[in-house]
A and B are shown apart, each in its own frame.
Chain A
Amino acid sequence: MRNKALSVLGLLALMLVLAACAPNATQSSLDPAGPTAQAEKDLFVPVFWTAVAVFVIVEGGIVLIAVKYRRKKGRDRMPPQMHGNTRLEIGWTILPAVVLAVVMVPTVGLIWDLARAPAPDALHVTVKGYQWWWGYQYTDQDMVTSADKPLEVADVLVIPEDREVYLSLESDGGLIVNDDPYKTDYQVIHSFWAPRLFGKQDVVPGRTNHILFSADEPGVYTGQCAEFCGLEHARMKFRIEVLSAADWAAWVANEKLGGADSADALAAKGQELFMNPLSDGRGSCTACHAIGGTDAGAIAGPNLTHFAADTHSCFAGCNWETSDIEALKAWLRDPEAVKLGAKMPNYQLTDDEIDALVAYLYTLK
């Protein structure tokens, strides 16, 4: 029995060691890439080791007592009867209380620090949760298009490195109201979480929550909705692309431009399909989507102005790479076939129409 108990404990210890060196976990809160996630980890790690110490003492005590005082064959022992020891019991009440009090001091400090006001030069972004994708609106005065509208992107939030970002979280669904209740985009609670950059905050209808964070290095960081929000909660993902100062300036300049008419014949056909109602009353792309610089200005679906920009590396809740042409075609052919409950309708597009639309979308750099 002792061997088994020890092997269970040994296995647990082994697991923890292995966990510490899992190089392929790409969304790990233990691998912070910015001061907010770093501060949260720095609070967790000492508490974790304190817990490990308590674990070793208590579990070790249980195993030692179990081994030492276990009944042995041929020995009928009447143990001494101990009913309690008040001083001892008060002691082991106060001791954990003291440990917890010590732990709570930096905890309370960080709660308030994370709730501080943003720096004056912080980048302000409003994050909007829909069923089941994320949209972002840049709300600083200089972050507007040539038509003087705020810059809007979907799926991938783009930010500069080393600059404080102040997110305002809003649940902005409810914009697609359909006779079919399964096709209605409901305003529900989401939670915005990029583990390597910041801990999560819920996106609650009727409220505005905030996250303050910054990223140390350029790179792409993944995240996803963490609060159960219905059918495709598992695939409501996003990326945060962090750019160097120079790349950021170029990105902003490009984002301010609207879409341009395409010279390519196929793409031009796609543009025509996109901008006009489809034949046989099948519906219209512009019912939900906006493309800057054109007449398409609906806000219920993702803004597609720069759909094919390098930074917009994934689409439809970040489940597919934008460069994956087959995935894009499959999505246009029947969204619900690849993402159950997707609110984008199946317009019964023909293969030719899909080819044209894909060609058009790929011109939206």
Chain B
Amino acid sequence: MASLSVPASSSRGMRRPSALTGFWSWFTTVDHKKIGLMYGFSSFFFFVVGGIEALLIRAQLAQPDGTILNADQYNQIFTMHGLTMVFLFVMPMSAAFFNYMIPLMIGARDVAFPRINAFSFWAFIMGGLFLYSSFFLGGAPNGGWFGYAPNSTTDPTIGMTFYALGLLITGIASTAGAVNLAVTIINMRAPGMSLFRTPVFIWMGLVVQFLLAFSLPIITVALFQLLFDRRWDTAFYDPTRGGDPVLWQHLFWLFGHPEVYILILPSFGIISEIIPVFSRKPLFGYQFVVFSGIAIGFIGFGVWAHHMFAVGLGPVANTAFGLSTAIIAIPTGVKIFNWMGTMYKGDLWFATPMLYSVGAVAMFVIGGLSGVTHAIVPSDYQQTDTYYIVAHFHYVLFGGAIFGLFSGMYFWWPKIFGRQLNEKAGKWQFWVQILGFNLAFGPMHILGLQGMIRREYTYPASLGLTFWNQISTAGAYLIALSVLMFIINVIRTQRRPKGLANEDPWDARTIEWMTSCPPPVHNFDEIPTIHSLDEFWHRKYVEDHKTGTLVPVQAGAAPEHDEGRPTGGHAIHLPSPSFWPLVAAIGLPIIGYGVLYSWWLVGIGAFVMLVGFYGWALEPSVAEG
């Protein structure tokens, strides 16, 4: 990368920015840590926005015949809630963890392609802002995150065109990021770190990047066809002109089901790091967890039609996909036992990260069990498209994924910011959140079985659904309270001076804790050489393999203990900042608006992108001076 030095004379007068601090450095940074932070804060912002949308939904449904939103507003709000939480929160928040942690956990100085990394981030931001600009330009997407044709192709408002274009832009961001991170994991591990010495979080990261790389092209095709149907009157999904609306469903879910694992596996990775640390035991069955993660990656592409049991694919297809759905429950389920096995006989320290990890496991069990009932095809005829499904995937994606992400935030906060979030406030947040979560989503199982359909802006009192809806709304506002507690905790923590009494506050196992908190810009002064899984742990403790007992290494007995700690790192060469990725990314939404409004804008957007890529290709490899 940066060592491929281009002579300054070939730069044609172009200079790279050199500032590593200050306001503008955030726009030119290619540092994986800064990009990770920007991913984290921007996706958390979208989490709050999507949460407010959820609160509007719950306010509307707190009463039968609710009048807070009308049908049109409600359809936009529930669509944007789904899109926001999936594409603008959980995916980029996972990207935040991957960006920040993967290089630190594998002993690399940055990701493989730092400027592509910056481009991924800016493209994600542009996609998110583009989607949300629809609220001011004629109405947000209103056909659900699943955008079923022909409703999505025929809807007369502009929203679903924004949907197609916005998801194409965020898809570009995710694809570029996926390739980048996969290459990073495969090629840039520290000396001695074979794949089977990488943390499970890295493994899950690798599986997720491959899932993204293989599933995003499918939704890209589907979105282009949707866009062409809407904008240029093609007939991919129009049955009256030889198209097939079910084609959209196959393409969408062939992406959409791997997407579920894209959302949940990062959390599994985080949990698999945190439970061993707080149990003071290695992960029970490391290989088993890794291979089941890989198995999920493969089988995840073979279960998509379980979203379509009521479409009328016929008994052969329904049987096949019922069976494959039952099969994927196995590798997903066995991890639970591995995590329990890790905790068994451990020295369990229920700090906030551990509470959230165990909470995520406990809640995911419920989501997994309700998931198995979807494989029971005839009972799924009753449950699909009802609140039973809404309950199920919130247990998986909120209980499993978001609890895991909060776990990771509490765990790595000292690593990232050099300050520890308040533990007492964190525990309060956890208990309020898990209570609110179960009150909000538990009753939805019952509502669905009692005949409450999804995506309805109102229901009559005569269906007898009012009571559980009110409980659910109360729970949703408790969740909001818990998120507010988190924000307050963060603000209060960041106001305190930096500094940890102990830079290894959790007695951690993996090498990101071998460098300072926060890490220096070059991560490690000297890249540590890896001798085993849980390298850092084994530098602190010696394990008697016969008895399985653990003895702390005597002080001074292990000279390499401090190998990774910074001493200045003056000779380390890092990629220089660049503003071209931002320029290239700005071209994307301009092209998007052009498709909506004018070919001229498409030309301008394409020109901006081209300028961005041109500058990117030709700028000197390092900042001068």
Contact = CB atoms under 8 A, between A and B. Distances in A.
- The number of chain B residues touching the other chain, given as a range, is 35 or more
Contacts of A65: 340, 343-344, 348
B449 to A, nearest CB: 5
Interface string B130-157: 0000000000001110001011001110
A304 interface: no
A162 interface: no
Interface string B463-500: 11101100000000000000000000000000000000
Contacts of B346: 69, 79
Contacts of B361: 62
A12 B347 CA distance: 28
B526 interface: no
A187 B239 contact: yes
B556 interface: no
Contact of B550 (A8, A11, A78, A199): A78
Tier of interface size on chain A: 35 or more
Given A4-B431, A55-B366, A81 B281 contact: yes
A80 B446 contact: no
Given A39-B378, A110-B378, A111-B318, A12 B334 contact: no
B481 to A, nearest CB: 16
Given A202-B311, A229-B151, A234-B458, A79 B347 contact: yes
A103 interface: yes
A27 B150 contact: no
A30 B383 CA distance: 11
B385 A200 contact: yes
A205 B143 CA distance: 17
B71 A191 contact: no
Given A66-B348, A188-B150, A199-B378, A207 B450 contact: no
Contacts of B315: 111-112, 115
B373 A44 contact: yes
Interface stretch (B26-34, B111-119, B319-327, B410-418): B319-327
A230 B438 contact: no
A51 to B, nearest CB: 4
B318 to A, nearest CB: 5
Contact of B312 (A58, A182, A207): A207
A107 B156 CA distance: 41
The prevalent SS among residues of B at the interface is: helix
A234 B456 contact: yes
A340 B314 CA distance: 36
Nearest to A108: B319
A40 B381 contact: yes
B285 interface: yes
Nearest to A94: B330
B382 A200 contact: yes
A93 B334 contact: yes
B566 interface: no
A44 to B, nearest CB: 4
B21 interface: no
Interface stretch (B8-16, B185-193, B240-248): B240-248
Given A191-B385, A234-B457, 14 more contacts: A19-B468, A25-B463, A80-B281, A82-B341, A96-B334, A104-B322, A184-B156, A186-B154, A186-B155, A187-B150, A201-B312, A222-B451, A340-B70, A341-B71
5 contacts: A47-B372, A78-B549, A204-B245, A234-B456, A235-B71
- The 5 lowest CB-CB distance pairs between A and B, nearest first, are A199-B381, A206-B239, A27-B451, A24-B464, A234-B456
